[in-house]
Chain A
Amino acid sequence: MRLLVCIAFAAALGSLYAGGFVPGRLAPTGFDPAFALVWAIGIVCAVGAAYQAKFHRLASLILLAGAGLVTCVTFVWMSAPDLALTQLVVDTVTTVLLLLGLRWLPKRIEDPDARASFGRAFRPRRLVDLAIAIAAGAGLSALAYVAMTQPVPDSISRYFVEHAYTKGGGTNIVNVILVDFRGFDTFGEITVLGVVALAVYALLRRFRPAPESVDIPEQQRVQDAFDDADPDRRRGDSIAHSMMTPALIMRLLFPAIGMFAVFLLLRGHDLPGGGFVAGLTMAVAFILQYMAGGTTWVEARLRVLPVRWMGLGLSVAALTGAGAWFFLHPFLTSHFFYLELPLIGAVPFATALLFDIGVFLLVVGATVLILIALGHQSVRAQRAALLRTPEPAAQAIAKQ
Chain B
Amino acid sequence: MMEAILALGIGVLAGSGVWLLLRPRTFQVIVGLSLIAYAVNLFIFSMGGLRSGAPPILHARTAGDAAQYADPLPQALVLTAIVIGFATTALFLVVVLASRGLTGTDHVDGRERES
Q: State the A residues within 8 Å of B (CB).
A: 1-2, 5, 28-32, 35-36, 39, 42-43, 46-47, 49-50, 53-54, 57, 60-61, 64, 67-68, 70-71, 74-75, 77-83, 86-87, 90, 93-94, 97-98, 101-102, 104-106, 108, 121, 129-130, 132-134, 136-145, 147-149, 152, 155-158, 160-166, 171-174, 177-178, 182, 185-186, 189, 192-193, 196-197, 199-200, 203-204, 206-211, 270-272, 276, 280, 363, 366-367, 370, 374
Q: How far does the alpha carbon of A31 sit from the alpha carbon of B4 in the complex, in Å?
A: 10
> For residues 56 through 81 of chain B, which have their beta carbon under 8 Å from a beta carbon of chain A?
56-58, 61-66, 69-73, 75-76, 78-80
In the complex the two chains form, is B57's CB within 8 Å of A94's CB? no
A138 to B3 CA separation, bound complex (whole angstroms): 14
By a CB distance below 8 angstroms, the chain A residues around B82 are 83, 86-87, 90
- The distance from the CB of A179 to the nearest CB of chain B, in whole angstroms, is 10
Interchain Cβ contacts within 8 Å, total number: 323
CB distance from A89 to the nearest CB of B (A): 9
CB pair B51 A79 closer than 8 Å = yes
State whether A173 touches B13 (Cβ < 8 A).
no
| Chain B hits for A70, CB < 8 A | 9
Q: How many residues of B contact A (CB 8 A)?
A: 91
The residues of B that contact A1 with a CB separation of less than 8 Å are: 21-22, 108
Chain B contacts for A192, CB-based, 8 A: 84, 87
With contact pairs A78-B70, A144-B6, A178-B79 given, residues A104 and B100 touching in the complex (Cβ less than 8 Å)? yes
Asked, given contacts A171-B58, A174-B56, A196-B90, whether A83 binds B78 with beta carbons under 8 Å apart, the answer is yes
A200 to B94: give the CA distance in the assembly, Å: 6
What distance in Å separates the Cβ of A37 from its nearest Cβ neighbour in chain B?
A: 10
Q: Determine the distance from Cα of A22 to Cα of B37 in the docked complex, in whole angstroms.
A: 26
Question: Is B11 an interface residue, CB under 8 A from the partner?
Answer: yes
Distance of A314 from chain B, by nearest CB (Å): 15
- Which residues from A are CB-within-8-Å of B42? 71, 74
Q: Which residues in A have their C-beta under 8 angstroms from that of B27?
A: 53, 57, 60, 102, 105
17 pairs from A and B in contact (CB 8 Å cutoff)? A30-B1, A78-B52, A79-B56, A86-B79, A86-B83, A98-B89, A105-B106, A130-B19, A137-B18, A143-B43, A145-B3, A156-B73, A161-B66, A173-B69, A185-B80, A197-B87, A367-B86
From B80, which residue of chain A is reached at the shortest CB distance? A189
Instruction: Please report the C-alpha to C-alpha distance between residue A15 and residue B93 in the assembled complex, in whole angstroms.
Output: 33
Q: Which residue of B lies closest to A36 (CB)?
A: B5
Chain A contacts for B57, CB-based, 8 A:
81, 171-173, 270-272
For residues 30 through 53 of chain B, which have their beta carbon under 8 Å from a beta carbon of chain A?
30-32, 34-35, 38-39, 41-43, 45-53
A166: chain B residues within 8 A (beta carbon): 62-63
- Check B93 against A98 for contact (C-beta < 8 Å): yes
Minimal beta-carbon separation of B12 from chain A (angstroms): 5
Contact B25 A90 (CB under 8 A): no
Q: Are B98 and A49 in contact (CB under 8 A)?
A: no
* B49 close to A152 (CB less than 8 A): yes
The answer, among A68, A148, A165, for a CB contact under 8 Å with B58, is A165
Which of B25, B83, B96 has most chain A Cβ within 10 Å? Answer: B83
The 8 Å CB contact of A144, one of B11, B19, B34, B35, is B11
**Which of A35, A189, A206 makes the CB contact (< 8 A) with B5?**
A35
Sample of 18 more A-B contacts, CB < 8 Å, known A60-B31, A64-B31, A208-B98: A1-B21, A2-B22, A78-B45, A78-B52, A79-B56, A80-B70, A83-B75, A83-B78, A101-B96, A106-B106, A138-B11, A138-B15, A147-B46, A152-B48, A196-B90, A203-B95, A207-B97, A280-B83
